[in-house]
């Protein structure tokens, strides 16, 4: 079994997007005491074909043997290295509203490679309040906070009307990756990676398949 250094430009982004799903499932299997798994078992758990799983993993090396499957702990460790979550990444959070409060209070990030090290907001009533293990700081501290923690990742949890301005500020301060909860598409330089979380989009995807059952409307 071996891990090959991949040529990133040759790996489709859709493949990268599935790796965290594989890692999450492998961690669950490891927590349950499983020592060995197979592409068939992973496929059944995830609803992905075993051939697709083997093809995805083959971009990064050989991790198992035909007939014996994958060592769960080993494959977990290799995927953590590939995704660079075999360490803890510092993350800044912009927005100390209800959503920001929930995110900053969530204890499940660090076990998966991320720590919210600072929360910033421009509301004077929120500045200085404690959320989780950090105190809310004013937005003018943004460049200093990013430089101090050498942050490359920011979470934007502000209203849509403020999201683009906030994105511009964090990018100017050195942020390279943004997780955006605002319901809009940001305009960013091509070298800045943006991921979006909008629950309404997922709701609307699901309702397409449901029988009509609205509270109001035709």
Please state which CATH number belongs to domain 89-202. 3.40.50.720
Domain locations in the chain as residue ranges: 2-82, 89-202
pLDDT of residue 113 exceeding 60: yes
Confidence of residue 215 (pLDDT cuts 50, 70, 90): confident
CATH topology of domain 2-82: Arc Repressor Mutant, subunit A (1.10.10)
Question: What is the average pLDDT across 83-91?
Answer: 95
Q: pLDDT tens, 169-210?
A: 999 999 999 999 999 999 999 999 999 999 999 999 999 999
Q: pLDDT tens, 89-112?
A: 999 999 999 999 999 999 899 989
CA distance 83 to 154: 17
């Amino acid at each position: 079994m071996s891990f090959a250094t991949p040529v990133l430009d040759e790996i489709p982004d859709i493949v990268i997007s599935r790796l965290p799903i594989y890692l999450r499932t492998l961690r669950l299997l490891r927590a349950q005491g499983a020592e060995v798994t197979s592409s068939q078992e992973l496929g059944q758990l995830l609803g992905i074909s075993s051939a697709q799983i083997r093809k995805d993993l083959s971009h990064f090396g050989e991790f198992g043997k035909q007939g014996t499957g994958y060592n769960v702990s080993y494959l977990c460790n290799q995927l953590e290295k590939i995704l660079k979550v075999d360490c803890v990444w510092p993350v800044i959070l912009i927005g100390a509203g209800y959503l920001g409060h929930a995110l900053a209070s969530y204890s499940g990030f660090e076990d998966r490679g991320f720590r919210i090290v600072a929360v910033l907001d421009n509301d004077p009533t929120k500045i200085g309040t404690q959320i989780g293990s950090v105190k809310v700081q004013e937005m003018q501290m943004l460049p200093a906070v990013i430089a101090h923690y050498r942050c490359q990742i920011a979470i934007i949890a502000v209203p849509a009307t403020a999201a683009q301005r906030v994105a511009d500020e964090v990018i100017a301060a050195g942020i390279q990756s943004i997780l955006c909860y605002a319901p809009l598409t940001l305009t960013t330089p091509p070298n800045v990676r943006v991921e979006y979380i909008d629950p309404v989009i997922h709701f609307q995807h699901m309702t397409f398949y449901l029988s009509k059952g609205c509270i109001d409307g035709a």
